[in-house]
Amino acid sequence: MRARLLLEDGSVFSGEGFGARATAIGEVVFNTGMTGYQEILSDPSYKGQMVTMTCPHIGNTGINKEDVESYRPHVEGLIVREFCPVPSNYRSERSLEAYLSQHDIPGIHGIDTRALTRHIRDRGAMMGILSNDGTSAADMKKRLAGHPGLSGRDMVSCVTLEKSLYWNVPVQQSWYFDPIGHSRAVPFRVAAFDFGVKWNILRLLSGFGMAVTVLPASTPADKVKEMKPDGIFLSNGPGDPEAVTYAIASVQKLARHFPVFGICLGHQIIGLAFGARTFKLKFGHHGSNHPVRNETTRSIEITSQNHNYAVEPESAKKTGFDITHWNLNDGTVEGMRHRDLPVFSVQYHPEASPGPHDSLYLFNQFLKMME
């Protein structure tokens, strides 16, 4: 079946369709990861976005239950150069085609993804509409023009839990070279706000010796205080951080009473809660090969990233934070720590999945902060 991708600037990319027969609208971004498309598809931070994979061949490893990062894929559409319909991998349990079809997610392949990626880099991430179900070009253009976009919208409410749950599934040691574990007889109790959390974050929190209660994003601060946790964790998630006003308000009330660790959107919400500013990046950071410099050790970490917003550095410094990590590609803030309070955060994903394990020490840092 023929498929078409129309961008808001009028650019058109034509190819072949796969996945669900459908029409979808989302912000078109690109991911530079060479592996891990299953984890990328199921990352809730991609809610509202369509992902272009720069790796040219996608689908050959299929889909398995072990590697998903949430209960379903969250991307609006998938854009690839070459699609493999029949997987060949000993861990595969089903095809990518079947996975996308089950969840009504359309895909397009056979287009020049290098040209599309360069276009986004030059002009910035933009809204697009992908159709492989025969929708006319005129109707696609009309539907795209009527879409409100993502800026200023609360996307967290689309992916967060409806009610709290207790997470007790630790990470599998076989996934890691370095040992993951702890020596505490009684684990620290952590209240984890679910803004769109990846499951491997929860696995690692549990593996490092924490008893994790996962909370809906809108959980009031007073209710969290009643739980008397040893620490607060703020997860990754999709969309514009300034739109998640209820989470910002909760963090303002909690950060002066508990140790706090934030990742990705959680990092941005910490910044906003203390009065710093955030801004939207031109085309975001999406991939598993981003170099970050740790200012304490002066070492370079290769990191996994997925975000479209960043914390403005000078505003963070003025509100009590030291910048602990910098992105070596574009000089944006990748980590910060409060000067007086036990509060720290990183913009990237130390849990990876997919990606390198250079930054696992941050989970142990959270543990030691609670100690």
Would you state the pLDDT for residue 86? 96
66 is catalytic: no
Distance, CA of 66 to CA of 89 (rounded, Å): 14
**In which residue ranges of the chain is CATH 3.50.30.20 found?**
2-145
Convert the pLDDT of each residue in 149-176 to its tens digit.
999 999 999 999 999 999 999 998 888 8
**In which residue ranges of the chain is CATH 3.40.50.880 found?**
156-370
Would you state the pLDDT for residue 106? 98
Q: 2-145 is classed in which CATH architecture?
A: 3-Layer(bba) Sandwich (3.50)
84 is catalytic: no
Q: Which residues of the chain have pLDDT under 50?
A: none
Distance, CA of 67 to CA of 218 (rounded, Å): 28
CA dihedral 201, 285, 158, 78 (to 10 degrees): -110
What would the DSSP string read from start to end of 254-289?
HTTTS-EEEETHHHHHHHHHTT--EEEEEEEEEEEE
Distance, CA of 327 to CA of 347 (rounded, Å): 10
Spot the catalytic one: 285, 286, 325, 349: 349
Residue identified by tokens 């994003």 is 217
Residue 131 β-bridge partners: 4, 23
Distance, CA of 254 to CA of 208 (rounded, Å): 23
For residue 11 the two structure tokens come to 């650019």
264 is catalytic: yes
Distance, CA of 271 to CA of 251 (rounded, Å): 10
DSSP annotation of 247 reads H
CATH class, range 156-370: alpha beta
Cα–Cα separations (whole angstroms), residue 67 to 18, 93, 283: 22, 11, 27
Spot the catalytic one: 84, 264, 285, 338: 264
Would you state the pLDDT for residue 42? 98
Spot the catalytic one: 27, 39, 301, 351: 351
